[in-house]
């Protein structure tokens, strides 16, 4: 007589899933806002839609993942920061419309669930939510034997924010002469890792634990530096300064993201020497013999978010951002664009000084 099969025999451990829920409860609850209704474990997440002070509230939503940065986390066996990346990618996208992130939901999928490891990921998600001021109100954990390699997982995140219609920032008021402010990134953030991994681990032959010459940390730690969350300082700035447009420098780098907020008749002139570029970008550029334009289209090259303000407001905005703990730089200006000119013009010294 054949042995009766169970779900665990097929590779899905329900008990491990329940253990994960118990491990993540305190982290999830720590992110709650007063608008959260109910608690973890319900079939649907409830959030009050009463927005005080907003006459015409507009919901802003975004979804994203972490991409192949997860492969570095697997190599280094470090899982406490990729959850921050997951939150950052969506809430920074919401922010550029002038919206305040309200709540976040995550999706965690793996072949065989390891509750301890998954709890580290969710702890990072909760940390990111607290940094952004939003609540982690729901999520899904999927254990799918055979679909993922042992020890690997994938992440997706979904964020919702709100902005008063009259305060929506869309770049339509940008005009020639305006100043472009860049906020420093913490490194690669969560884009360009397919190229970065190919250069660092294949062409240069480094291991995650190796420390390249001139680096203070091992390359695994450098590549896993979590994406900056700009929400709180920028929302504070919006109360003090008229910000005309913002762009989150993600996939597509400078060349594809900045044009998304520019009116048709203008271009962004970027001065390449106006901010310090973290050494990891030079390691990738030089190690892979990567063309400069490819660098600016693939990576953030040290700037994670750009803001456009009137020239007369630039000094005040810089001063305020520094007071809020940011590292801002005036990295360029807005100029008129001819019919055959590009949306983004890169000027100044070449990367690497050559």
Sequence-separated (6 or more) residues with CB below 8 Å from residue 63: 90, 156, 157, 158, 159
**14-167, CATH topology level:** 60s Ribosomal Protein L30; Chain: A; (3.30.1330)
Instruction: Give the integer Cα–Cα distance in Å for 114 and 82.
Output: 16
Whether 354 has a pLDDT exceeding 80, the answer reads no
Number of H helices, E strands in the chain: 11, 12
pLDDT bin (cut points 50, 70, 90) of residue 2 is confident
Domain ranges of the chain: 14-167, 179-353
- 303-340 pLDDT tens trace: 999 999 999 999 999 999 999 999 999 999 999 999 89
In the sheet that holds 153-164, the strands lie side by side as: 57-65, 153-164, 100-110, 135-143
Instruction: Give the integer Cα–Cα distance in Å for 265 and 278.
Output: 33
pLDDT at 287: 97
Nearest CA to 324 among 214, 242, 241, 203?
Answer: 241
Taking the whole predicted model, whether its pTM rises above 0.75 is answered as yes
Please provide the DSSP assignment of 1-38 as one string: -PPPP-TTTTT--HHHHHHHHHHHHHHHHTT--TTEES
pLDDT at 172: 96
- 162-182 pLDDT tens trace: 999 999 999 999 999 999 999
- Other C-beta atoms closer than 10 Å to the C-beta of 9 total 9
**Angle, helices 231-238/115-132, rounded to nearest 10 degrees:** 10
At the fourth CATH level, the homologous superfamily of domain 179-353 is PurM-like C-terminal domain (3.90.650.10)
Average pLDDT over residues 84-94: 98
With contact defined as beta carbons under 8 Å apart, do 161 and 91 qualify? Answer: yes
User: Which residue is listed with tokens 């990738």?
Assistant: 284
Write out 185-208 in H/E/C secondary structure.
CCCCCCCCHHHHHHHHHHHCCCCC
110: three-class secondary structure by DSSP: strand
Q: Mean pLDDT in the chain?
A: 95
């Amino acid at each position: 007589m054949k042995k009766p099969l169970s779900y665990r025999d097929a590779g899905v451990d329900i008990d491990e899933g329940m253990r994960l829920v118990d491990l993540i409860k305190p982290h999830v609850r720590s992110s709650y806002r007063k608008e959260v209704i109910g608690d973890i474990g319900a079939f649907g997440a409830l959030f009050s839609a009463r927005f005080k002070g907003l006459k015409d509230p507009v919901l802003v939503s975004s979804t994203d993942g972490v991409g192949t940065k997860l492969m570095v986390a697997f190599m280094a066996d470090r899982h406490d920061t990729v959850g921050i990346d997951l939150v950052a990618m969506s809430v920074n996208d919401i922010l550029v419309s002038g919206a305040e992130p309200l709540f976040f939901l995550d999706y965690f999928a793996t072949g065989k669930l390891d509750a301890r490891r998954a709890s580290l990921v969710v702890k990072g998600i909760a940390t990111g939510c607290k940094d952004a001021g939003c609540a982690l109100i729901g999520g899904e954990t999927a254990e799918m034997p055979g679909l993922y390699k042992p020890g690997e997982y994938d992440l997706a995140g979904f964020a919702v924010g709100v902005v008063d219609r009259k305060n929506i920032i869309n770049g339509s008021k940008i005009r020639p002469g305006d100043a472009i402010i860049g906020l420093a990134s913490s490194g690669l953030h969560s884009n360009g890792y397919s190229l970065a991994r190919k250069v660092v681990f294949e062409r240069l032959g480094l291991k995650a634990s190796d420390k390249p010459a001139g680096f203070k940390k091992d390359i695994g730690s450098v590549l896993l530096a979590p994406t900056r969350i700009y929400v709180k300082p920028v929302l504070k700035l919006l109360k003090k300064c008229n910000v005309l447009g913002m762009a989150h420098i993600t996939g597509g780098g400078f060349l594809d993201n900045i044009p998304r907020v520019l009116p048709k008749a203008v271009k962004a002139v970027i001065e390449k020497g106006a901010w310090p570029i973290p050494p990891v970008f030079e390691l990738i550029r030089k190690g892979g013999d990567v063309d400069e334009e490819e660098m600016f289209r693939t990576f953030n090259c040290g700037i994670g978010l750009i803001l456009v303000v009137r020239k007369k407001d630039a000094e005040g905005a810089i001063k305020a951002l520094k007071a809020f703990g940011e590292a801002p730089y005036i990295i360029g200006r807005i100029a008129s664009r001819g019919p055959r000119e590009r949306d983004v013009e890169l000027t100044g010294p070449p990367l690497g000084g050559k």
